[in-house]
Structure 1
Amino acid sequence: MAAGGPVLNVSGLSYQVADRVLLDGVDLRVRAGESAAVTGPSGSGKSTFLGCVLGLIQPSRGSVEVAGTDVVRLRRRALERHRSRHIGVVFQFGELLPELTPVENVALAALLAGAPSGQAYERAERLLGELGVPYNGVPTGQLSGGERQRTAVARALINEPAVLLADEPTGALDAATRNSVAELLFEVPRRWGCALVVVTHDPEIAGRADVRVELKDAAFVPHGSGARS
């Protein structure tokens, strides 16, 4: 990957199911330290786009380069290694194990990626401290919604990914907590030097991004443009 080039480079990405086209030649490039927001109505293909970036959905054509490697061309084991090393994900409902403590939830992601136990727990505690999450043995299920999402962000960051994906990360939060989590998320590219891609229905959240596109008629339309990209 060339110095200063995009750490996420989606080019000509297309996908269809039967005769329904969900993605039709979409492009998106995000550099380290930058953020992008993808909006669009339910069923427009936003989740399909994320699935392609994660390598979970095989597009009909196009490429998805993450940290210089096209994940579309990787075999399963190589894809799993590349995804674990270079992509972090924050889901709408956190997808954390409620019976584990925040430290255990975050450290688990590092352990699964092959980090030594001591290093995994040390990094987990440091990240949670930086993100303002208590980790004094309380089960994650007893945390507030905002604390759980901050724990999810820590888990996504622990393997120092090149790209952080956030799928409706504030959709299950109240207004005050939503703003707090959004502020944290959009600080991530600057503080941790990764690219951030947020998929959201919320125009206020999307408005925080450096780049904003709407998925409309299977294409990415730049925010404020009525024309097909």
Structure 2
Amino acid sequence: MRDRPLAVRGLGYEIAGRTLLKDIDMQVEAGQSVAVVGPSGSGKSTLLGCILGLVKPSAGVVEVVGADVVRMRQRALERHRSAHMGVIFQFGELLPELSPVENVALAALLAGEGAHQAYEKAERILDELGVPLNGVSTGHLSGGERQRTAVARALVNEPKLLLADEPTGALDAATRDSVCDLLFDLPERWGCGLVVVTHDATVADRAERGLELRGTTLASRGAEAGS
């Protein structure tokens, strides 16, 4: 049986008297990719925020690598997130004035890695992902190269769980497909779990499992419905 980097049980979230999420159950195994789809405002980003520990749910358990992030104190949560979770955002959230190597190494440095090891790991991962290492600033990279840099940054601390929030939303179709090839290859290559939140059915179809936020609940999508 595969390890389980993520287990969500009975998750609920309410804001301003409105129930956004209710009785959400979700598991992700090591080496598995899961896509969560739903229209804008359905709660996809809120769900991701609960998994990251950035949003406090009203009810439920969110276990990341066996520890419930809902009940962690802030400092312990930050350490746990840095050690076990990697995040990829729609627009990369990179520092454009830094080089790709500096952007990726910074994540390792903030996690306590020594400078030599941090830069060595950054260069190795970027090279593996096909990002140029010629000293150009990240702001001058193509959209696909920037997103590959964002993936490298998410991987540098060797997380057990990768979370991607609309990772291809700012890319053209050809670049989207290239980034998807990379993204959905990661669980098997790195032995991690991957959760991709997206409104793009083409992206979601690449995942091993597909889930959909319907109203306040999470259900299997497409052919998996009712199974």
Q: TM-score, normalised by structure 2?
A: 0.97
Conserved? CA contact 1:107–1:121, under 8 Å: yes
Conserved? CA contact 1:37–1:212, under 8 Å: yes
Match of 2:181 in 1: 183
In 2, the alpha carbon distance for the partners of 1:219 and 1:226 equals 15
What count of residue pairs does the alignment treat as equivalent?
Answer: 227
- % of aligned pairs identical? 67
Q: How does 1:36-47 map to 2 (within 5 A)?
A: 36-47=34-45
In 2, the alpha carbon distance for the partners of 1:211 and 1:26 equals 16
Change (3 A) 1:226 1:128: closer
In 2, the alpha carbon distance for the partners of 1:83 and 1:128 equals 22
In 2, the alpha carbon distance for the partners of 1:19 and 1:113 equals 38
In structure 2, the gaps of 5 or more residues are: none
* Residue 5 (structure 1) shift: 3.6
Secondary structure of 1:137 counterpart: coil
In 1, the alpha carbon distance for the partners of 2:209 and 2:133 equals 34
* Equivalent residue letter for 1:65: E
Query: CA deviation digits over 1:181-225, x for unaligned, max 9?
Result: 011000010111100000001001000111101001110110127
- Which of 153, 161, 165 is 1:163 aligned to? 161
In 2, the alpha carbon distance for the partners of 1:34 and 1:105 equals 27
Match of 2:81 in 1: 83
* Equivalent residue letter for 2:72: L
Q: TM-score, normalised by structure 1?
A: 0.96
Match of 2:211 in 1: 213
In 2, the alpha carbon distance for the partners of 1:225 and 1:138 equals 45
Secondary structure of 1:58 counterpart: coil
Q: How does 1:11-26 map to 2 (within 5 A)?
A: 11-26=9-24
Match of 1:136 in 2: 134
* Residue 18 (structure 1) shift: 2.3
Conserved? CA contact 1:220–1:228, under 8 Å: no
- Which of 26, 33, 46 is 1:35 aligned to? 33
* Equivalent residue letter for 1:34: Q
Query: CA deviation digits over 1:48-72, x for unaligned, max 9?
Result: 1001000011111100100110100
In structure 1, the gaps of 5 or more residues are: none
Match of 1:67 in 2: 65
Query: CA deviation digits over 1:80-135, x for unaligned, max 9?
Result: 00000000000000000000000000000000000000000000000000000001
In 1, the alpha carbon distance for the partners of 2:202 and 2:223 equals 18
* Equivalent residue letter for 1:130: E
Match of 1:48 in 2: 46
